[in-house]
Amino acid sequence: MKQQAFNPYLPSWEYIPDGEPHVFGDRVYVYGSHDHFGAPIFCVGDYVCWSAPVNDLSDWRMDGVIFRKNQDPKNRLGIRLLFAPDVCRGPDGRYYLYYAFDFMGLIGVAVCDEPAGHYEFLGHIRYPDHTLWGRRKGDQFPFDPGVLADEDGRIWLYSGFYTPTPRLLTGMKKLRNDGGVVAELEQDMVTLKSEPRLLFPKTGTGSFPDHEFFEASSIRKDKDRYLFVYSSRHNHELCYAVSNRPDGDFTFGGTLVSQGDLFLNGNTDEHHAANYLGNTHGGLLQLGEDWYVFYHRQTNRHSYSRQACAEKLVRNPDGSFRQAEVTSCGLNGGPLSGLGTYEARIACNLWSAQGTGRYDGSGVRKKLKNHPYFTQTGKDREQDGDQYIANMQNGAVAGFKYFATGEANQIQVETSGHGCGYFEVFLDAGCKELAAEISVNPNGGKVVTNASFTADKGIFPLFFRYQGTGSVNFHSFSLSVKTKETAE
């Protein structure tokens, strides 16, 4: 690769949640909704596309705006918000973008001759009599479309949402929210060939106990098996189900990833997760024999500035996936170098002395006012802005995984804020294997301090725990070799 790959894998100023990765030609394209830094609600931006060569997942390119909110005739004023999309290559060789406007209760379709070109509005998903899906009494609520153009030429559309939606938001009453549904589409890509049918009930017979369907439908095909990815009622995890057919008989596969590593190693305590929790949405990517799960994390103490992350998956001999651990090096193909400078924003673990919390519900900022969080300087889309960890108070921990250690003997941190204390640097999440202790005493501006660093040769995480008064902002750290000559 041209350079190392980190999580989040896009630039610090970009906020793309709900990322669906697809390979078209020799590039990986990620289609997601578009948050802004400091936004008051989800998905305020138009759709943009990012892509990278299939052989270099460190080299991401912004391909520009592919679809604007006001291109849909039902949103000419641009008031409604573009929620999570999906894309497929149709039987005619063109590319079809499926989307839903927030809680309007409709799914739209746009089309383009290339994966990341300017998509043009095609229509809304409709019944053969041209009634729009979502406008009949008793329809399942259209939301979070996932689409599969199967090898046999059949087109499958997936949708669903857990929570009943008020009439105030949809304009319609008595739409159903029974779980995840599936329908086949005609070759025109907009007309329903079959009635939407419940596939993943959120409760009762056929649901997946403790991992029931919530939202975020995503579908992939692996040889003769269909892999359905979704967000469970826990909201912070992506799960998957498996079947030999696209429209039924799915069995629960397990958790693919949780933002806070919950369910990994038996931990189910949301107050002591490995990171702060919120909703997540994503999909699977296959490159050769390698599989990855794409998801997103929260920043800025709310769920409206989310960023794209990914992890490599490990498969068991029977073809099932193990739950991935959240890391700082998801697409890197291995640990990060034990020498170099790293932005604190790539921390994959973050908690306070009191544990963690959820970035949803009301009063989050007040409830978590003593907790650390990811944020940035400047306004949205300022490409020279500085993203960092803010408000590290006594006992707060930031964790980075993983590094190839053994060469560096010096560590340096850049901090700001109004605190006085020190960072302990550990080689384990339990904060027992001490590798360095660095004094920090910023007084408003940025301050750089360093200390000796000791670590055996191997692959280790780095956990920074702040001990002291006030609060500090953590901007970056560096690992280096201090020789006798440089010391002199």
Two tokens at 145?
Answer: 């479309």
Say whether both 221 and 347 belong to one domain.
Answer: no
Return the higher-pLDDT residue of 92 and 169.
92
Q: Is 379 exposed, middle or buried (0-12, 13-18, 19+ CB in 10 A)?
A: exposed
pLDDT digits (tens, 9 = 90+) for 304-336: 999 999 999 999 999 999 999 999 999 999 999
Q: Which pLDDT value is given to residue 318? A: 94
Q: Which pLDDT value is given to residue 165? A: 76
Say whether both 136 and 156 belong to one domain.
Answer: yes
pLDDT digits (tens, 9 = 90+) for 191-235: 999 999 999 999 999 999 999 999 999 999 999 999 999 999 999
Q: Is pLDDT at 115 greater than 90 in this prediction?
A: yes
Give the pLDDT band (50/70/90) at residue 389.
Answer: very high
Say whether both 247 and 153 belong to one domain.
Answer: yes
* Among 14-28, 163-177, 264-278, 410-424, the least confident range: 163-177
Say whether both 235 and 356 belong to one domain.
Answer: no
Quote the percentage of the chain above a pLDDT of 70.
97
Cα–Cα distance, 374 to 255 (Å, whole number): 25
Q: Which pLDDT value is given to residue 479? A: 98
Per the structure, the complete domain to which residue 114 belongs is given by 20-334
Q: Is position 63 annotated as part of the catalytic site? A: no
Q: Is position 186 annotated as part of the catalytic site? A: no
**Given the residues 20, 178, 215, 325, the one annotated as active site:** 215
Mean pLDDT of 427-446: 95
Of 269, 302, 334, the one marking the end of a domain is 334
Domain assignment present for residue 2? The answer is no
Say whether both 346 and 284 belong to one domain.
Answer: no
Domain assignment present for residue 10? The answer is no
Domain assignment present for residue 12? The answer is no
Say whether both 379 and 469 belong to one domain.
Answer: yes
Assign residue 153 the CATH number of its domain: 2.115.10.20
Q: Which pLDDT value is given to residue 486? A: 54
Say whether both 305 and 352 belong to one domain.
Answer: no
**Given the residues 18, 72, 261, 311, the one annotated as active site:** 18
Say whether both 294 and 344 belong to one domain.
Answer: no
Q: Which pLDDT value is given to residue 383? A: 80
Say whether both 477 and 394 belong to one domain.
Answer: yes
List Cα–Cα distances, 382 to 1, 41, 64, 112, 385, in angstroms. Answer: 27, 19, 16, 30, 5
Q: Sort residue 158 into left (φ over 0), alpha (ψ -120 to 50) or beta.
A: beta
Assign residue 421 the CATH number of its domain: 2.60.120.260
Q: Which pLDDT value is given to residue 142? A: 96
Say whether both 315 and 366 belong to one domain.
Answer: no
Q: Which pLDDT value is given to residue 170? A: 62
Q: Which pLDDT value is given to residue 114? A: 98
Of 306, 334, 362, the one marking the end of a domain is 334
Q: Which pLDDT value is given to residue 444? A: 83
Cα–Cα distance, 427 to 406 (Å, whole number): 12
Domain assignment present for residue 8? The answer is no
Domain assignment present for residue 15? The answer is no
Say whether both 211 and 360 belong to one domain.
Answer: no
Quote the percentage of the chain above a pLDDT of 90.
92
Of 303, 334, 365, the one marking the end of a domain is 334
Q: Across all residues in the chain, what is the average pLDDT?
A: 95
Say whether both 300 and 152 belong to one domain.
Answer: yes
Structural domains counted in the chain = 2
**Residue 121 bridge partners (DSSP):** 110
Domain assignment present for residue 259? The answer is yes
Domain assignment present for residue 391? The answer is yes
Give the pLDDT band (50/70/90) at residue 445.
Answer: confident
Domain assignment present for residue 3? The answer is no
Q: What is the 3-state secondary structure (H, E, C) of the chain?
A: CCCCCCCCCCCCCCCCCCCEEEEECCEEEEECCCCCCCCCCCCCCCEEEEEEECCCCCCCEEEEEEECHHHCHHHCCCCCCECCCEEEECCCCCEEEEEEECCCCCEEEEEECCCCCCCEEEEECECCCCCECCCCCCCECCCCCEEEECCCCCEEEEEECCCCCCHHHHCCCCCECCEEEEEEECCCCCEECCCCEEEEECCCCCCCCCCCEEEEEEEEEECCEEEEEEEECCCCEEEEEEECECCECCEEEEEEEECCCCCHHHCCCHHHCCCCECCCCCCEEEECCEEEEEEEEEECCEEEEEEEEEEECCECCCCCECCCCCCCCCCCCCCEECCEEEEHHHCCEEEECCECCECCCCCHHHHCCCCCEEEECCCCCCCCCCEEEEEECCCCEEEEEEEEECCCCEEEEEEEEEEEEEEEEECCCCCCCEEEEEEECCEEEEEEEEEECCCCCEEEEEEEEEEEEEEEEEEEEEEECCCHHHHC
pLDDT digits (tens, 9 = 90+) for 45-82: 999 999 999 999 999 999 999 999 999 999 999 999 99
Mean pLDDT of 95-119: 97
Give the pLDDT band (50/70/90) at residue 488.
Answer: very low
Mean pLDDT of 183-195: 98
